[in-house]
Amino acid sequence: QVQLVESGGGSVQAGGSLRLSCRASGGPYCSYDMSWYRQAPEKEREFVSGIGRDGTTTYADSVKGRFTISQDNAKKMVYLQMNSLKPEDTATYYCKMEAIGGPWCTTRSTYWGQGTQVTVSS
């Protein structure tokens, strides 16, 4: 069973930075893509950034140029460097894994972490 554990959230002032980490454990899996989502109070969960096993990255328009996603496959870690934070970035941030596993590498599964809170004050 896969488990995802996020860390690195906290409270910062606008313009500050935070680095979120997500550690994956369990498996096995044949391949996976990792991403970050966030959910503000009374809002739907939204995509923030994703990274494929080949390193291809995608970003929501709202965070382009400010956030950077990276991963360390050997350590099963994914990171989200968040710079120039704004009050509207305040949310609970979730790590997500979309994995392909099973004996023939055909089983698709989705896993979520428990979330880490990011609060940005003006």
What is the mean pLDDT of the segment spanning 64-74?
Answer: 95
Confidence category of residue 62, pLDDT binned at 50, 70, 90? very high
Residue among 121, 119, 115, 120 nearest 38 (CA): 115
> Is residue 85 over pLDDT 90?
yes
Q: Give the C-alpha separation, 105 to 109, whole Å.
A: 11
Give residue for tokens 């044949």. 30
pLDDT, residue 26, reads 86
Q: Give the C-alpha separation, 73 to 46, whole Å.
A: 24
Q: Is the backbone peptide bond immediately before 28 cis, with ω within 30 degrees of 0? A: yes
Q: Are the C-beta atoms of residues 84 and 69 closer than 8 Å to each other?
A: no
> Is residue 80 over pLDDT 90?
yes
pLDDT, residue 54, reads 86
Tens of pLDDT along 13-36?
Answer: 999 999 999 999 987 888 889 999
Q: Are the C-beta atoms of residues 26 and 40 closer than 8 Å to each other?
A: no
